[in-house]
Structure 1
Amino acid sequence: MLDFFGDIGGAIMAPLYYVISAVLVGFHTLFGGIFGEASGVAWVLSIIGLTLVIRIALIPLFVKQIKSSRNMQLIQPKVRELQKKYGHDREKLAQETMKLYKDSGTNPFASCLPILLQMPIFLALFRLIDQAAKNPEVERGLMTTQLNEQFGDAVFLGAKISDTFLNTDDLGVRVLAAVLVLAMTATTFLTQRQLMSKNMPADALSGPYAQQQKMLLYVLPVVFAVGGIAFPVGVLFYWTTSNLWTMGQQFYVIRNNPAPGTPAAQAKEDRDRAKAERKGIKTPAMLEEERLAAEAEARRQEQTQARQQPQRQTRSQRNNAQRNKKKR
């Protein structure tokens, strides 16, 4: 597995080595001065710092991902209508579906961009750790031979940062690697489930898109669990930290800007209502409810008055009424 990555990309990966190593060395200079240059704590914190820098840089793409995912959810009823209408004509269905995506400003592939852009970074970090352990004399980016030796030999909680579950017979190292693999797998699952359980309207929980999301909910964690046993401890720290960042980002967005018609939207409306009542003010939703209630009351009163208002009689009806009155 380690050799599989090899010198992937060659010259294409070289710029990434410089960028990643520059950030990594920068954080190591900071934390190395506190915990010691060869300290495993310094290198783990440097990897976490690298992760945070990358995720901050990807925030604009994350915003696009959220918007695209939300649009995908909201247009699912229209997608199902198209499937019913053009189910017999696949070419026409594809054309109309793409037109719907374009008109609604939805990119069905936007949700994959953050993870796709992270993969080269992940591979570059993987390679830096692997080479630091195997061939420290090979310098990549700003990682000198001395830094490679420190990086490859750095020990954190009894395990080298370059250790994997598969390349060690040390029980303690395997336990730590297994815990990190489980943490990576669990956070991957929870980030997917967070979106489906909180920020998807009921009518978007069925259909092909929903089925695809449900499949990814279980397939991705399995893929990471199987592949994770070959990841160095340092890479496991990177991916777990990245997942925790994603969970925090999603929690903030779902809580403060949920998709309409979702449990998160209802929860936000309830919070806003309770907050407004404490302050003695009215939210837009409360004002809208009052407006609708006033309109309903006005219609009810109009209907009541119409039933109670006496009907106008014709001349013939008035004459007959007078004759009947005289007879009595």
Structure 2
Amino acid sequence: METVAPPAVAARPRLHPAEFLLDVLRGVAQVDFMPSPVTGLVFLVALAAAGWQYALYALVGCAVATATAHAFDVDRDTVSAGLRGFNGTLVALSFAVFLGAGHLSTFCLAVGGAVTVVFVTSALATILGTWNIPTLTAPFCITASVMTVAAPSFARVWHSGPGLAALPQPASDTTRLDWTQIWHGFLANFGQIFFMPQWYVGLIFLAGILIASRTAAAMACAGSAASLFVAWALGSPSRGIAEGLMGYNSVLVAMALCGVFLLPTAWSFGYALIGAAGATALTAAMTAFFTTFGGHTFTWPFVLTALAFVAAVPALPRLSRRP
């Protein structure tokens, strides 16, 4: 019986190490929507300012996710833009922060999580792509939430001690803000996107965004300022505001809704501020929700707010999606 040979598959051009490194740096930068390798390098410097191990985990997580995407022949342009690496960055970094960076088990989980999140991203991209809705950091949120909630059940994974991030607590502190807490909180909002509460780390992150885009930097500042006002007006504890716990989701929402996914106009600016305000309130709600079973808020408020607001755009003629 005669058989028909399968069609030949054209071999992809070989990926050079320098190109791979640029892909990885873009992936780190894409955590804040910036496809700039220079910005990615600045972000790694910011993480190193908080602790060299955090920069290492972020770099390894993005490299593993990017290599996995290349190995499975994901669209080269997509990978080169960093769109299959940034969730790996956040997964690995979150494990370092919440499970302890100095443990071999944490490092192994970070590598495994960075591989897994590529497949989660592809699955969500297939589903959400039907409606032209981005996956954002949902793959990271899903992967990290599963692991951190499950971690206490595994003796070789769960570690307690000084230096590990604590679970969020219900409001119980003073709501009075002084000037130092205001400007610390304004800058910490940028750092908390990468789980870093230090104001000087947030300042370096903001500089990295500014290098790539003045519009993005302006919207990041607008989102941070909006979150400060809303959190204060609603009576959020001042300590959480100063550490950036109430505002980092608002920074991402503001950037996404004016300049990244929507054309920057006066209407999208107002739309972004409304979204940033909503994300601040949703952060408090989701913090209370996750606290009940030992989870973490991560960037769930950003994901849910941005998805809803982006999905609404076709019904709002004043707004326009970027082509």
RCO (CA 8 Å, sep 6+): is it higher in 1 or 2? 1
Shared fold per TM-score greater than 0.5 = no
Task: Give the TM-score normalised by structure 2.
Answer: 0.29
Which structure is larger by alpha-carbon Rg, 1 or 2?
A: 1
Instruction: Give the structure with the higher percent helix.
Output: 1
